[in-house]
Amino acid sequence: MSLVMSRACVAVLAVLLLSSVCQAQLSSSFYDRTCPNALSTIRSAVRTAIARERRMAASLIRLHFHDCFVQGCDASILLVDAPSITSEQNAIQNKGSARGYEVIDKAKSDVEKIRPGVVSCADILAVAARDASEYASISHVGGPSWTTKLGRRDSTIASMNLASSQLPRFTASLESLIDLFGSKGLSSRDMVALSGSHAIGQAQCVTFRDRIYNNASDIDAGFASTRRHHCPTNLDNGDENLAAMDLVTPNSFDNNYFKNLMPKKGLLASDQVLFSRDGNPLSLFHAPFYAPL
C-alpha cells in the first residue's frame, strides 16, 4: 500500500471534507433556476485572482476551511467587527494570515450584478475553494473536478472565541488534532486527507521557527538548514517572512506534501506529527484511500 495519496484523491477529498461539517440539506442544482450563471461567474473571479497571484489558491482553500471549522460553513469568517460582533478574523489562527477576502468580495459583487440577493457568501466560499483546488491541480491533461452542493445560508453572528479554541494550531500535538477533528465528526483519515491541502501555499516564519531551530529528531537537518535562510532566529525579525510549504512544487496540488513527511521534511510541526511519533510511522497514515500515482 502506497503511503502517498494520488493527486485526484488529495484535491477531491480535501475540499469535499471541508464541506462535510455543514449539516444543512444541500443540492448541486440549488441555483439552476434562480441564478444559472452563478458558478461560472465565481469561477472567473477565482481564476483571475489566482492567475494574478498563485498563492491565492491556497489562501482560498484555507479561508473556506477556517470558515467551516467554526459554526459550520456559514461565511461567519467574513463578518467584521461591529457593536454586536467580535470578528473571527481577530483569532490568532486568522489574524495576519487568513486572506482572500477581496476575492470573495469580487465574486459576490459580480454575482450580485447578475441576480441580487440570491447567492450566499457561504456558497461562494465553498465554490471558490473547489475552483481554487481545481485550478491548482491543472496539468497538461487537466485536473480533477467535482460537483459542489449548494444552498448554505450566511450567518449573522461570529465567534472569535470559538475560532480561537477550535481552529487547529501549527504547534498542535497529534492527540489534540485527532480530538479536534473528531469533534467535527471527522476521522483521523479525514484529517490526513484535509491536511493534504498544505501541498500548496506558504507559511510565515513565526509558524515554523521553533521547528527548524530546535535540532529535534523529527526534522531533516539539511531541510532545517535550508529553511533557516529566510527565517532568522531573532524573535524580533522576520516573523512574516514566507516559505513554501513544498519546495519542489509549491503551486501544484499534488502528493509531494505526503512524500515530504516521510523523510521528515514537513514544514509545520502539526504536519510532521501525522507521519511519525518517536520515529515510527503512524497507522493513520496508511489509510486505505491512499493510492500510488
Residue by residue, DSSP assigns 215-232 as: --TTS-HHHHHHHHTTS-
CA distance 221 to 133: 31
CB atoms within 10 A of CB 279: 8
6-28 b/e (C-beta count within 10 Å ≥ 16 → b): bbbbbbbbbbbbbbbbbeeebee
- 156: helix, strand or coil: coil
Task: Report the range of poorest mean pLDDT among 85-89, 130-134, 206-210, 283-287.
Answer: 283-287
- Average pLDDT (46-69) is 95
Q: What are the E-state strand segments in the chain?
A: 202-204, 242-244, 276-277, 280-281
CB-neighbour burial class of residue 275 (10 A; exposed 0-12, middle 13-18, buried 19+)? buried
Q: Which residue's entry shows cell 502528493?
A: 255
So which residues are the catalytic ones? 66
Phi, psi (deg, nearest 5) at residue 253: -80, 85
Question: What are 166-183's pLDDT values in tens digits?
Answer: 999 999 999 999 999 999
What single DSSP character describes residue 79?
P
Whether residue 21 has pLDDT greater than 70: no
Which pLDDT score, from 0 to 100, does residue 6 have?
Answer: 44
Alpha-carbon span 113 to 178, nearest angstrom:
43
Say whether pLDDT at 261 is over 90: yes
Mean pLDDT of 263-280: 82
Mean pLDDT across the chain, nearest whole number? 86
Residue-wise pLDDT for 96-140, tens only, equals: 999 999 999 999 999 999 999 999 999 999 999 999 988 887 643
Is-contact 73 22, C-beta < 8 A?
yes
Question: pTM of the entire structure?
Answer: 0.87
**Is residue 31 within 8 Å of residue 118, measured between CB atoms?**
yes
CB 63 within 8 A of CB 101: yes
C-alpha cell at 150: 449548494
